[in-house]
Every structure is written in C-alpha cells, then in structure tokens.
Amino acid sequence: MTVPRQATRTRGREAVQALVAELSKLVSLPATWLTLGGTLVVNPVLAIAYTAAGLHGSTGTTSVPDIGLAPIGYTQAGFVILGVLAACSEYTGGQIRTTLTAMPRRALQLTAKHLALAIVVLPAAAIAAASGVVIAAAVLGGTAAPVTAGRAAGALSGAAAYLTLTTLISAAVGALVRRTLAAAVVLLGYLFIAGPLLRDHVSAAKYLPDSAGFAMWFPPADEAGTVTPVHGAVLLTAWTAVLIAVAVSGYRRLDV
Amino acid sequence: MKALAAEASKLASLPAVWAATAAGVLVPGVVAAITASSALGAIDRGAAVTAPIDTGYQELAFGVVGAIILGVVAVSSEYVTESAESGGGRQITTSLTAVPSRLRFLLAKTAAIAIGAAMLAIIAAGTTMGVVRVVLGEHAPALGAGDVPRLAGVACYWTYTALLAAGITVLTRHGVVPLAVLVANTSVVSVTYLLTRIAPPANYLPDMAGVRMFIRDLAGSTAEIGPLTGGLVMTAWVTALLVIAAIAFTRRDA
C-alpha cells in the first residue's frame, strides 16, 4: 500500500504564483489603466506648455532634458495615486480576506505586490520621461542648449527610476494607512507642499526622499555638499526599502 | 434649515474633516513660522529692511489645502461604498431618502461646506497672523484698516476653493482625482502659474484670479487684476461649476 504523498509547493513556486496573482490583480483593475492613461496624456500636454515657456525664455534654461522632464514634478501625482490605489484597493469591500486566504504568507504577498507594481510602472515611467524629452527636443530644435548624450540618458533613466521608486513608496504608505484618500492626502501634501518648503528652508531636507529623488534627474546646483545623482538614487532606494520593510512588518502584526 | 443642520452634523462627525481642519491651521501656521524666522534673519543681517508685504498671506495661500480636503471629503464620503458584509450601500441613498429634493440637498451640502470653510479660514488666518507677529515682533507688517478686506479675501478664497473642490467631486463621485489635481496645483509653482507664463488669459483661471483678493505682490505677474475683479472672476467660476454640478446631480442616477 502506498501512502499518498502530501501535495506541497516549493517556496520558489509559491513566490512565482504570488507574483502572477498580484500582476493579474493589478492589470485587471480599471483604476490602474485610467490613472496611467490620464497621467500619460497630461504629461505631454505639460511638456508642450513647458517647452512653450522655454521658447519665451521664462524657464531660465533651454536644455532639452531639463525642460522635457520638468512636467514630472507634477505628473508624479498620477504615479502616487497608482501606488496608493494598488495597495488600498484591497481594503475596499474586503478583498484583502480573499487575498490572504489564497496567500497566507503576508510578507511574501506584500513583497509580490510591490514587485508586480514595479513591473507595471517602470515602462510607464520610461514612456512619461521619454515623451517629455522627445517633445522638448522636437519643439526646441536648433535653439536648444547643447547637452551630452550621457547627461540626457542619465536624466532619462533617473526620472524613470525616480517615478518607479516613488510609486513603490506610495504603495508602502498606502499599505500602512489602508485608506485611499488619507494616504493620497499624506503623500501629495508631502510631495507638493511640505517637501518644497522644507527644501527651501532646512538644509537637512536634501536627504529626504523627494529632494534626494529630484537629484536623480533635476539639474544639480554647482556647489559643494549637494546630493549627486548617484547618491540621490542610493538614498531614494534606501528610503523605499525602509518604508516597504515598515509596511511589511506592520502588515504582519496588524489585523486586517 | 433641517437639511442644513443635518449636513453640518454629518460634516462635524467626519474624522477627515477634523484632519482637514488640522491641515488648514497647521500648514500655514508652521510655514509662516519658518518663513518669518528667515525674514527676521534677513532683517538682522541687514539684507532687508522690512518683512515682505505678503508675509502671512502667502502662507495662507498654501493653507487652502485644508479647505480642499474639506470640500472633497464632504461630497466623496457620500459615495463611499460600504463593504459587502454591511450591505454594500452608500450614504447618498440614505441622504436622498431623508431629503428627496436633490436641489435642496445640494444647497444644504454646499452651504454647510461654505460655513465650515469660512470658519476654518478665520481660525487659520488668526493663527497665521498671530505666529507672524510673535516671530517678527516689531518688524511685523502693521495690521491696519487695509488688512480687513485682505483677510476677508482670504476667507472668500478658502470658501470658494472648498466649493470648487466639492463641485468637482459631485461630478467625479470619487475623491481621489479632484484631490490629486487640486493639491498638486497648490504647490509653490503651480500648474496654473506656469500657464500664465505662456498664455496671459490663464491669469483668469479661478485660483490665479482668486489669490488677487489678498496677495499684493505676485512674483512675475503677467497681468494686472484688482482684488475686486479677481474676486468677481472666481465667483463666476464657482457659480458656473456649481450650476453644472447641480444639473448633473439632479439629472443622473445617484
């Protein structure tokens, strides 16, 4: 007589299944596509506005990557909303209980959610960054200030990475706060009101996630002690990792 | 009147409204403390003789984020779907059962929002001006009869902004989009400000026209608009949006 072998799945297979499940949830959420679509429409419109302002000479620069990436400062709001929605949509109507029945390992589930989000957002972030730069290059044409290819590529990849990491931070905050509106207010209030004001008045603010992240793609000021793009990337990655870790540990300890 | 009392009671019992109140008072107060102390530093170094004319008012232009949250959640809370276990209902169906006339409901709602935002603006203006006075001491710009219309302008701007936020939320029936757009536009260099650099008519957008009610020295202004004209332009925007919201609200399913 043979003893029936208990069906088990390896850790690796479980992780892959969790990632596939999270990806499927994310791409089947209409809000994902509405948010991404809206953001990717608004970004070129703002890029045209900025380029027009650049032709009038009121932006203080005619560098193609600087003007083309400037709209990111506003359209990051769309990416923030996407991150918040990805995390908080679990809590509207109790989907979270189904999720945790299917994937009881909470740390694995939330990590898979962030990974799935990164997979969806990175191409969108690259498109947002590239569309602005292409528009700026096309409209400015010969009047643009010369830039090296290395600087342009660095700014582009920096902007795409910044948007992706900001989305992940938003999802982590969303997982902690669990309410869409509250999380959106906290993040947008920080990014658009508190962050810029702190940057102007407090010197230590350059190590905060928004200012450090800006250093990844914004033209750095020529003075000692500023955060370089590489340092900015390291700082923002560290902030993201810490916030995701906090979100995971909170998620493991709290009731749903 | 009963409908207004009901709306006021709903508003006062929303935790998000108290968060909005905290944001509306703390943001301009803290920012004013920071900017006033750097202005004081400039005066002590001899780099400036007096504090800028807009000290305090500039900060109140940021604090309007509290009014935005108030206007958005007052409407979006009606449309939040309860979880399936508690029936999947929405408060709006209960509200319209209690007050079946849609116009009366909307009127009571906007009146409650306007009263709340105006009260919030008065508290925030008092706090902010107090903070400026405490930090700057004798260097603070003197408060005279000229500040009465300016402070009234602040209250007007906050009330109108809350009504704009509420009107947009009536149309979207969800809070995230109006919140994201309006908060993103409260930043130091707002989208509408950028538009005024390209197209002068953008000076007549609601927020750019509305701040003229109390800001005297708008950096890089591309048009001259008086405080009264600015107020009237914003009144026209708010009225138009509320009429559109009322038409949509009375004609569609809840």
CA distance B183 to chain A (A): 7
Q: How far apart are CA B46 and CA A205, in angstroms?
A: 26
Nearest by CB: A53 against B72, B179, B197: B197
Q: Which residues of B touch A181 (CB under 8 A)?
A: 16, 72-73, 76, 175-176, 179
Q: Which of A29, A197, A211 to mutate to test the interface with B (most CBs of B within 10 A)?
A: A197
Q: Do A78 and B195 touch (CB under 8 A)?
A: no
Q: How far apart are CA B50 and CA B39, in angstroms?
A: 8
Confidence of residue A58 (pLDDT cuts 50, 70, 90): low
Q: Which of A32, A188, A203, A210 to mutate to test the interface with B (most CBs of B within 10 A)?
A: A188
- Is A41 within 8 Å of chain B by CB? no
What 8-state DSSP symbol labels residue B141? P
- Per-residue pLDDT tens for B40-58? 888 888 777 777 788 888 8
Summarize the confidence of residues A129-153 as an average pLDDT: 84
What 8-state DSSP symbol labels residue B222? -
- Is A181 within 8 Å of chain B by CB? yes
CA distance B79 to chain A (A): 13
- CA B175 to chain centroid, in Å, comes to 15
Give the residue among B7, B19, B3, B182 at the shortest CA–CA distance from B104.
B3
| Tokens, residue B16 | 């998000």
Confidence of residue A56 (pLDDT cuts 50, 70, 90): confident
* Residue of chain A whose alpha carbon sits nearest to that of B82: A93
- Per-residue pLDDT tens for B93-127? 999 999 999 999 999 999 999 999 999 999 999 99
Q: Do B65 and A56 touch (CB under 8 A)?
A: no
- pLDDT score at A6: 67
pLDDT surpassing 90 at residue B12: yes
Give B235's contacts (C-beta < 8 A, 6+ positions apart).
B160
Task: Report which listed range, A239-243, B1-5, B128-132, is most confident.
Answer: A239-243
- Is A184 within 8 Å of chain B by CB? yes
Q: Do B176 and A196 touch (CB under 8 A)?
A: no
Q: How far apart are CA B184 and CA A144, in angstroms?
A: 28
Strand partners, A145: A63
Q: How far apart are CA A170 and CA A247, in angstroms?
A: 11
Give the residue among B235, B140, B68, B108 at the shortest CA–CA distance from A181.
B68
Q: Do A77 and B176 touch (CB under 8 A)?
A: no
Ramachandran category for residue A202: left, alpha or beta (phi over 0 → left; psi -120 to 50 → alpha): beta
Q: Do A56 and B198 touch (CB under 8 A)?
A: yes
Q: Do B183 and A77 touch (CB under 8 A)?
A: yes
User: The complex's ipTM?
Assistant: 0.85
Please report the number of interchain residue pairs, chain A to chain B, with beta-carbon separation below 8 angstroms.
85
* Residue of chain B whose alpha carbon sits nearest to that of A185: B179
**Helices B65-79 and B2-12, interaxial angle, to 10°?**
110
Confidence of residue B88 (pLDDT cuts 50, 70, 90): confident
Helices (H) and strands (E) in chain B, counts: 11, 0
Give B160's contacts (C-beta < 8 A, 6+ positions apart).
B206, B210, B234, B235, B237, B238
pLDDT surpassing 80 at residue B209: yes
Residues 86-105 of A with CB under 8 A from B: 92-94
Residues 39-68 of B with CB under 8 A from A: 62, 65
- Is A190 within 8 Å of chain B by CB? no
* Residue of chain A whose alpha carbon sits nearest to that of B73: A181
Q: Which residues of B touch A85 (CB under 8 A)?
A: 176
pLDDT surpassing 90 at residue A38: yes
B175: three-class secondary structure by DSSP: coil
Phi, psi of A29 (to 5 degrees): -85, 115
- Per-residue pLDDT tens for A201-252? 778 888 899 988 888 887 666 565 678 888 899 999 999 999 999 999 999 9
Q: How far apart are CA B68 and CA B183, in angstroms?
A: 8
DSSP string, chain A: -PPPPPP---HHHHHHHHHHHHHHHHHT-HHHHHHHHHHHHHHHHHHHHHHHHHHTT-SS--BHHHHHHTTHHHHHHHHHHHHHHHHHGGGSSSHHHHHHHH---HHHHHHHHHHHHHHHHHHHHHHHHHHHHHHHHHHHGGGSBP--HHHHHHHHHHHHHHHHHHHHHHHHHHHHH--HHHHHHHHHHIIIIIHHHHHHH-GGGGGSHHHHHHTTTSPPPSSTTPPPHHHHHHHHHHHHHHHHHHHHHHHHHS--
CA distance A10 to chain B (A): 34
